[in-house]
Structure 1
Amino acid sequence: MTDDARAPELRASDADRERVTEVLRDALAEGRLDMEEFEERLEATYKARTYGELTPITRDLPGAGGVALPTVSLHKEPVEQGSWADRIIGGEGSSSWAVAVMSGFERKGRWTVPKRFNCFAFWGGGEIDLREAYFADREVEINCVAIMGGMQVIVPPGVEVVVRGIGVMGGFDHREEGVPGEPGGPRVIVTGFAFWGGVGVDRKLTRAERQRLKEERRAQKLERKAAKSLDEGTGSHDGRPHMLENHRDRRHDRREQRREHRHERRGR
């Protein structure tokens, strides 16, 4: 049996369901779906377990022909920090734009950032999380337009950030500029316009990386504690052996005194 014949029976991942959700959000913003249809299809998306169940949800929407099946096995392995050669994959992005009008949007997890990603927020907000993302090119542009709204771009360590946005009664966050990227790492250029709004840029570790560092610190703390206990037990600290010996002598003397006192009472 060919791979194409097996594809509808393959189990869908959370990333596949998120790609379908993005198409539905775009269709809602464009007026192709009303809110009731959007909610029905969104519910069906989160209930879907296979690619065969996902495909009909967006079959009648433009640009959705490759949402589920063509991405069957793009990114099965978890993203490792610093593995840039495997994360800059070329090709097209899995999502090229996002809109939030009195609402919000998210792009996060294992998705492919296109060479240019356009996003717009009006009385709303959005989050573009690149910590586990793949990149269609060594240099990508995130173009943000925020009108009385806000957006947050999250990048992992090792990514070079350049901010070129313009703010009018608003602003773009430049704090992460100037931090050198890792060799072979991507370059993210944040552009756009903010009016009574803002675009922030944060550099954060993934949850898995934070957990790994936490476990390392915990292991180091336990090692130090064990080493300290061993040192105290072997008497490496000055005066410690004498203190233990004196304590044992005092206990022995008290026992002898009690024994003599009992003998005296019996003698009476």
Structure 2
Amino acid sequence: MTPLPDPPEAPPPRIDEDDRDAAVRRLQEAYSEELISHEELESRLHQVLTAKAHGELASALAALPAEHPGTASTIAVISGRIRRRGAWRVPRNLKVESAFGKVRLDLSRAVIEHPVVDIELQLGTGGARITVPRDAVVDVEGLRTTWKDLRYKAPRGTHPGGPKIRISGALGYGRLQIRHARR
């Protein structure tokens, strides 16, 4: 009996825009911290912008230090209120956990240093209200609601240049309201 030929290899997963943006940002940070020269920045940027596979992105970022600490944070309470407003620094990844209580996150005047911010909500009962900058792009594809629905209406006109806010996680018995700041 002749052996069957090997099945064709699956194509590598495509690089999405967020991965490419994150790689460009890391290279720019390395250059601003004088870890790489201008010529090396240009060469690596070209490699990132023309990469077709994740391995090519990884080789462009080889020998760079890891991202800054403090790019992830967790806010957790059993009961009570979680409130952030004013000029607070928003981490790259923010996890918010609350068994009972209300969550109020106002990002309209916050310091957002990352082009993409991931907010993971793990809420039992109680609602959440998130105010995003006027020019933010909001993605709620990764969010699951159990009892009440999500209240979010994307603005009519787009304002380019704002951060992308990705909201994921799960809400038990509460409602999530997302609104864009007016200014």
TM range (shorter): 0.5 to 0.7
1:1-268 alignment to 2 at 5 Å?
Answer: 91=68, 96-164=73-141, 165-176=143-154, 181-205=158-182
8 Å CA contact 2:95–2:120 kept in 1: the answer is yes
* Partners of 1:99 and 1:119 within 8 A in 2: yes
**Greater share of strand:** 2
| TM-score normalised according to structure 1 size | 0.39
In structure 2, runs of 5+ residues without a counterpart are: 1-66
Contact 2:152 2:179 in 1 (8 A): no
SS of the aligned residue for 1:131 comes to coil
Structure 1 stretches of 5 or more lacking a match?
Answer: 1-89, 210-268
Q: What secondary structure, in the 3-state scheme, does the structure 2 residue paired with 1:185 have?
A: coil
SS at 1:137 equivalent: coil
Greater Cα radius of gyration, structure 1 or 2: 1
Structure 1 residue 106: Cα displacement: 1.0
Shift of 1:184: 2.1
The DSSP-based 3-state class of the residue aligned with 2:152 is coil
Q: Which has the higher helix share?
A: 1
Q: After the TM superposition, list the runs of 4 or more consecutive aligned residues in structure 1 that deviate by more than 4 angstroms.
A: 90-95, 178-181
Alpha-carbon RMSD across the aligned residues, in angstroms, is 2.3
Higher normalized contact order (CA 8 Å, seq sep 6+, divided by chain length): 2
TM-score, length-normalised on structure 2? 0.56
The change in CA–CA distance for 1:92 and 1:182 in structure 2 (over 3 A counts) is farther
